[in-house]
Structure 1
């Protein structure tokens, strides 16, 4: 049985809408207004304030801006990392170079992709099959996951932004990405031809080596070549002069950053409530990564209340929290408010939106997935010690919310936060023990393999 949209049925729909005064009023408002802005509840805005019961000692300055790029996962990591570093160095403001890690991610990610294309051939995956087609759709995205930034920092270290500043293609990645996409698809065909011919490892390695030399040239032209060593000169809050270096970025991380922020001591917890993905187990996603020989992307799946408690505990102890979420839902962007009740869709459209399905059903039916990474810097706890609201440092500049800081209700956290990262000292032993089990592999197209990439 199927429904045909006959002229009579369309006329019935039209007459119904035209008889509804609320629909006509909403139609008039939408003529010149963003539908989401029209639905914002004034009462919720009036009840919102950036006052919190627990807050990290000092927040990072300046507010960062990823601009037209999908580097939020890198920005969020470096924004968390800079807080203890600023305190240690007694700085007024500071940024790590996001472009530095982005450069190495592009290089490593292209190499990872090409090696996966070789693996797919050896696994018998046809180029028209779902897996290879999915991977070829976007072979070099900007977005990433926590374990990917761990790979980059562990291998390449970090450096101050002043020593490797932004370039046009770091802030506006579309053109560079399209060049790389074209080359990676071309290289995939070339690799399959080499493998079809004789499958010789030496021939494959020779082909990959040449291909990556061309990738390195493209990325270097777009982003610049990071210095192998650098010297950092700066004034502290007391206006005293300091000089660090010359040293490599990895030496800078190991000697000056790692003592206050050891990225390998951080634990990534996720909330995936789908019935088939049991809590208390670890998962990974097929072909998801950014570095050959790097850390595997691992998800420790836990109930959302565990994530909220661990994030609260970290903030109570003065440590900010990296997290991944679906940023676009129930979000009043200009005001910087994330709250399930911020939009009154029912009054405007006669139906509710976003929360008619459960969090699990939204994942199952393609209505939800992680899109963006930010950091928590404050939380308000009620008399029972449970979180009520959160302060969020974003990486979209100062134009959103309170000079770049958003406010999130805990009802929004439960529905749209999928991932947090805290120091393992805040994680119960029984949760840590889950990492000792073998991960369950989800398919490459599973929504838990989504990459944090959203920009303003």
Structure 2
């Protein structure tokens, strides 16, 4: 127990002193009046930086109208399917096309229920205390909407994908709160029963079986019953009609999304010195499909990540999935990110000077949103990047019809992960992929989900 006897209490005289100092500086009252009436972002927005952030790019990949995840945390599914739909549109000759994100979420959540139950049962049988930090972390984080590129590929490899018309959005897919609350209660109740079984494997197995079936029932009630096959026909952008006949979701994915996305490698920029660049990182207990690929990353410098993204956009002409901390220095309405876009320190008369490593280490920053790069402005030298075009999944009513602009220094500070073809890696990085990963605990910030 912490000894608080040496702590200094906050006293009325201290507060009076702070108030006196506040009132003595005229700029504080001006700032208060402005922020109270207009809000901090409108007051702190750097006018000069905002007006000089160009929305032009030397390379642009046209992926059509943006999607909208509504009140759900499915950005990782939306963004990965946005990459996949670009490939599918190219193969089908379509100008517009969208995959069913509801279908992907259905099977992710069903698989994740099973993964969680198996994982917690193994801990119980190994004698892990129910009140350990690990068990409590897993219970706290259960059944959110977030995920990772590798987790998305696990779903697509096993279940394929379907056009949105064949499994459209529902009230619960667009607003997942109540469905997730019900699933969390179901799973936590199952964990309670697992620990009450006191190591009886047969009894634990019955709890898992009953809970999986109940989870399937809850998901189907909320999201609908996903198709096992569908009859596929379409008219391409040249007006030519095509009929493919009955096809399964797995066959559709394998036939029309043929860019090898399943074999991509996830690169991360973990800035902490104890995790050297060129090593593989894994997160314990992080996954969704039992038997699927583990969630692992190759830790590389941000400059290498940038180089890969630039080359994919300029040489292959395909969108690139990435994960970032989207909140800092974001102008959501106008669709802009820049490290100097808001002058909060000047308004508050306070210095904010933590670097990326310090922000990660002290819980001020972690990946929380996934999107796709669809453009870049490259300087005349052919390698230096000035800014990036980003396809978001927040609808077309904001930004440039839903597309955002990212200043290049913002990439260095707040982008954490990109998914790229394995073939782009040099020999030393390929060798690192073959070595065992440095395993980090379940609560490590690199395990944050987009």
TM-score scaled by structure 2? 0.96
Residues 167-196 of structure 1, C-alpha deviations (whole Å, 9 max, x = no match): 1110000000000000100011112223x1
1:278 match: 276
Tell me the residue number matched to 1:167. 170
Deviation at 1:442, TM superposition (A): 0.3
Are 2:369 and 1:372 equivalent residues in the alignment? Answer: yes
Give the secondary structure class of the aligned counterpart of 2:290.
Answer: coil
Tell me the matched-pair count.
443
Give the CA deviation at 1:347: 2.2
Instruction: Tell me, in whole angstroms, the C-alpha distance in 2 between the residues paired with 1:319 and 1:367.
Output: 32
Which ranges of structure 2 fall in alignment gaps of 5 or more residues? Answer: 1-5
Shift of 1:423: 1.8
- Supply the distance in 2 between the matched residues of 1:358 and 1:161 (Cα, whole angstroms): 42
Q: Does 1:25 align with 2:24?
A: no
Q: Using the alignment, how far apart are the partners of 1:186 and 1:288 within structure 2?
A: 21
Distance in 1 (alpha carbons) for counterparts of 2:216 and 2:285: 22
Q: Counterparts in 2 of 1:300-311, with a 5 A limit?
A: 300-311=298-309
- The aligned counterpart of 1:232 is 232
1:220 matched to 2:220? The reply is: yes
Distance 2:324 2:101 in 1: 20
CA deviation map 1:246-304 (0-9, x unaligned): 1110011112222xx22222111000010111111111111100011111000110111
Equivalent residue number for residue 407 of structure 1: 405
Question: Which residue in 1 is equivalent to 2:246?
Answer: 246
* Cα RMSD after superposing both structures: 1.3
Equivalent residue number for residue 96 of structure 1? 99
| 1:55 match | 60
2:304 is paired with a residue of what secondary structure? helix
User: Given that residues 22 and 347 in structure 1 are in contact (C-alpha distance below 8 angstroms), is that contact kept between their aligned partners in structure 2?
Assistant: no
> Offset of 1:137 from its aligned partner?
0.9
Q: Which runs of 4+ in 1 moved over 3 A?
A: none
For 2:108, what is the secondary structure of its paired residue?
helix
Whole-angstrom CA distance in 1 between matches of 2:427 and 2:87: 25
Q: What residue number does 2:3 align with?
A: none
Query: 1:326 corresponds to which residue?
Result: 325
Instruction: Tell me the residue number matched to 1:363.
Output: 360
Q: 1:139 aligns with which of 133, 142, 149?
A: 142
Distance 2:160 2:303 in 1: 33
Alignment of 1:346-357 (within 5 A): 346-353=345-352, 356-357=353-354
What is the DSSP-based 3-state SS (H/G/I as helix, E as strand, rest coil) of the residue aligned with 1:296? coil
Pair 1:74-2:77 in alignment: yes
Q: 1:123 and 1:50 mapped to 2: Cα distance?
A: 56
State the alpha-carbon separation in 2 of the partners of residues 300 and 69 from structure 1. 28
Q: List runs of 5+ in structure 1 lacking aligned partners.
A: none
| Cα pair 1:90 1:237 within 8 Å, conserved | yes
Q: Normalising by structure 1, report the TM-score.
A: 0.94
| Rounded Cα–Cα distance in structure 1 between residues aligned with 2:17 and 2:310 | 53
- Is 1:382 aligned to 2:387, yes or no? no
Which residue does 1:182 correspond to in 2?
A: 185
Structure 1 residue 156, shift from structure 2 partner: 0.4
Show CA shifts across 1:91-149 (max 9, x none). Answer: 12010111111000010001100111111113322111100011111311100011100
Q: Is the 8 A contact 2:53 2:407 kept in 1?
A: no
Residue of structure 2 equivalent to 1:264? 262
Q: In 1, are the aligned partners of 2:378 and 2:386 still within 8 Å (CA)?
A: yes
* Matched residue, 1:398: 396
- Structure 1 equivalent of residue 200 of structure 2: 199
